[in-house]
């Protein structure tokens, strides 16, 4: 935003968006056009967009919109709600085959920073570097109670270091529920304005242990996507 202070620019990053899951017919089957961003009355063509959905619930509405697009890569880390049929095999369709990544976790109520860090390192970052997005949208609701604010900060900072990518953080869902997570919002804002860095935190360097369910799901997702992306072979 022209003429804005760093704080104002950071607040612009923290965009509240309505979840498409509540407004989009899940039967929609369309090919998405390249995203257009309007800044200062100038339209900028964006050819590749990555959406990293860190909210607890699966964003089936978002997935439906972009399921046949190879210009928007959608990644969702979500609670599997103890479903017998898991959706890690849902990878897109037609032109969009290989451009949807679902990571369903049955232990989401007990996972911690180490689990998320491993998922990001082994799945999200490799595909992000391979896809080379021009815009990265990170959807958060801060509802995973066992994750610390620094974990979210680390994820966003890692993504912001991807070459030629801009990062937008979107508060997805009910803003009232986020009011109790002020520390999380403040920490993410601090990263966005360059006042905080968690990259060199010793916690992320240690040999970390993860839940067995998380390891199993990482291996399943990698196996599914190695058909499309050499970074997993």
What pLDDT, on the 0 to 100 scale, is given for residue 231?
Answer: 95
**Confidence (pLDDT) at 22:** 36
Answer yes or no: are the C-beta atoms of 172 and 19 closer than 8 Å. Answer: yes
pLDDT band at 59 (very low <50, low <70, confident <90, very high): low
**CA dihedral sign, ordered 74, 224, 218, 146:** positive
pLDDT of amino acid 86: 62
pLDDT for res 7 = 43
Over residues 84-115, the pLDDT tens digits come to: 556 888 999 999 999 999 999 887 778 889 89
Q: What is the pTM of this model?
A: 0.81
Walk me through the domains of the chain, giving residue ranges and CATH numbers. Answer: 6-232 (3.40.800.20)
3-state secondary structure of 41: coil
Structure tokens at 206: 């240690």
Is a pLDDT exceeding 60 seen at residue 1?
no
Distance CA 132, CA 50 (A): 9
Angstrom distance (rounded) from CA 139 to CA 168: 9
- What angle separates helix 149-160 from helix 182-192, to the nearest 10 degrees? 20
* Across 68-81, average pLDDT: 89
Give the list of residues 6+ apart from residue 202 with CB closer than 8 angstroms, or none: none
Q: What is the pLDDT of residues 130-180, one digit of tens each?
A: 999 999 999 888 888 788 999 999 999 999 888 778 898 888 766 666 667
Around Cβ 14, how many Cβ atoms within 10 Å? Answer: 16
Q: What is the mean pLDDT of the chain?
A: 78
């Amino acid at each position: 935003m022209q003429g804005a202070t760093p704080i104002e620019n950071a607040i612009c990053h923290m965009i509240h968006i309505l979840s498409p899951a509540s407004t989009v017919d899940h039967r929609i089957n369309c090919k998405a056009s390249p995203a257009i961003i309007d800044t200062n009355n100038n339209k900028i063509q964006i050819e590749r967009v990555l959406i990293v959905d860190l909210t607890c619930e699966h964003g089936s509405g978002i997935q439906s919109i972009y399921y046949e697009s190879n210009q928007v890569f959608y990644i969702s880390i979500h609670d599997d709600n103890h479903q017998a049929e898991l959706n890690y095999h849902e990878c897109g369709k037609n032109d969009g085959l290989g451009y949807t990544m679902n990571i369903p976790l049955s232990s989401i109520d007990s996972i911690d920073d180490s689990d998320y860090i491993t998922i990001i390192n082994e799945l999200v970052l490799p595909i992000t570097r391979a896809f080379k997005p021009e815009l990265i949208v990170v959807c958060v609701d801060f509802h995973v109670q066992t994750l610390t604010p620094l974990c979210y900060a680390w994820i966003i900072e890692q993504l912001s270091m991807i070459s030629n990518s801009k990062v937008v953080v979107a508060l997805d869902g009910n803003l009232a529920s986020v009011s109790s997570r002020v520390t999380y919002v403040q920490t993410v804002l601090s990263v966005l304005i360059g006042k905080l860095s968690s990259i060199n935190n010793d916690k992320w360097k240690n040999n970390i242990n993860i839940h067995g369910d998380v390891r199993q799901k990482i291996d399943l997702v990698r196996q599914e996507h190695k058909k499309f992306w050499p970074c997993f072979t």
